[in-house]
Amino acid sequence: MPSTLGAPEMNLEIRPDGAFDLLSLGGLVIRLDPGLVPFRKARECAIHVSGAEYNVAVNISDCFGLRSAIASAMVDYPVGELVEERVRAAGVTPFYRRFAHDGVTGPNIATVYSDRGVGVRPPVVFYDRANEAAAQLAPGDFDWPAIFGQGVRWFHAGGLFAALSDSTPELLAEAMEAAHRHGSVVSFDLNYRAKLWAARGGQTRAQAVYRRLVEHVDVLVGNEEDLQLALGIQGPDVERRSALDISAFGAMIDLVVQRFPNVRLVATTLREVLSASRHRWSAVVAAEGELLQAPTIELDIVDRVGGGDGFASGLFYGLLAGRPLEEALRLGWAHGALLTTFPGDTSMATLAQVEAVATGASSRIQR
């Protein structure tokens, strides 16, 4: 059973119907994954279509069977065609602002390179986001009244997209305002990445952008480091027993809600890295002044990329499905855990597998 502090009732108003259960706004990327071989020694790579916001839309569709959509940039060249095919295969409805490729410099679908790491060798991620099409997206690129007018129950976005350019935060604010006008819940994953913000004015600029956007947010996803670096929320001087200790996180939530009273729910994963291949995993959600914590388990990691997006999508599914908050938390925790057992950034799990892990089923072979 989870460690539970209180049992909050949710006052999140989720519309019961609409053409889409979830719409995400964000950049589409490809990740080149050489598996366990360090990238500098790689001879071949798997190609994963990814993007933090897109990952949530895929998981909501492919694993949880709901109707999802993505608003993003698309480039008319073979890499774009590959990405489009994957989006269709995942059952995600696209709303694209299309760009022509000049055959030389772009604009491009961004490329993310990864070393998975194993044991004492940590994973490494680096980027080529030069002339990225998604960074050129700006207010006016999408017909939000037409899109939200179809009915969107939940709108999701994140800090990775906000970091791409000066125009993407403006587009996010435009979309969030439209979402609220049409009765959608708005969620935002802070996803602070110092490497991305370094080219855009650093932490000072990042905090100004995040604080403005979070004023439009109902459901906030972010760990203690995100809250500190992205929002400037100071952590209390608490001696922590481990990365799974929620005492500091709980105190920070009070500060978040004081600063942003519009935020109804805050959630994050808790991860203690024993090695690149072995993590201790939990999750926590805060709502109505109370905390709920999921169980702690040890994970054997195949690919850690996307685990946080897996948690968010499972949590959102639970709330969209009308599950009690504790069940929604456990669905997110279980789905995030399962996602780390697959290669790639998006889910290969079934809803039945997620439900089984969430309710404590064993890992014995199923015959």
* 236 — pLDDT class (breaks 50, 70, 90): low
Among 292, 294, 215, which Cα is nearest to 257's?
A: 215
Rounded to an integer, the average pLDDT of 161-182 is 98
Cα–Cα distance list, 79 to 107, 126, 200, 306 (Å) = 11, 19, 26, 21
- Is 283 within a domain? yes
Rounded to an integer, the average pLDDT of 265-280 is 94
Total tally of structural domains belonging to the chain: 1
Rounded to an integer, the average pLDDT of 328-344 is 96
Rounded to an integer, the average pLDDT of 61-70 is 98
The residue with greater pLDDT, 251 or 19, is 19
- What is the length of the chain? 367
Residue 11, pLDDT > 80, answer no
- Is 1 within a domain? no
- Is 300 within a domain? yes
Question: According to the model, what pLDDT value does residue 193 have?
Answer: 92
Percent of the chain with pLDDT over 90: 85
CA distance 296 to 192: 25
* 181 — pLDDT class (breaks 50, 70, 90): very high
pLDDT in tens, 30-50: 999 999 999 999 999 999 999
Q: What is the CATH number of the domain that holds 275?
A: 3.40.1190.20
- Is 366 within a domain? no
Rounded to an integer, the average pLDDT of 39-65 is 97
Question: According to the model, what pLDDT value does residue 365 have?
Answer: 41
Q: 2-16, 115-129, 221-235: lowest mean pLDDT where?
A: 2-16
Domain coverage including residue 318? 14-358
Residue 84, pLDDT > 70, answer yes
Which residue type is seen at 113?
Answer: Y
Among 53, 65, 56, 5, which Cα is nearest to 332's?
A: 56
- Is 367 within a domain? no
- Is 294 within a domain? yes
CA Rg value for the chain: 19
Question: According to the model, what pLDDT value does residue 289 have?
Answer: 82
Phi-psi region of 158 (alpha: psi -120 to 50; beta: other; left: phi over 0): beta
pTM: 0.93
- Is 8 within a domain? no
- Is 272 within a domain? yes
Question: According to the model, what pLDDT value does residue 7 have?
Answer: 43
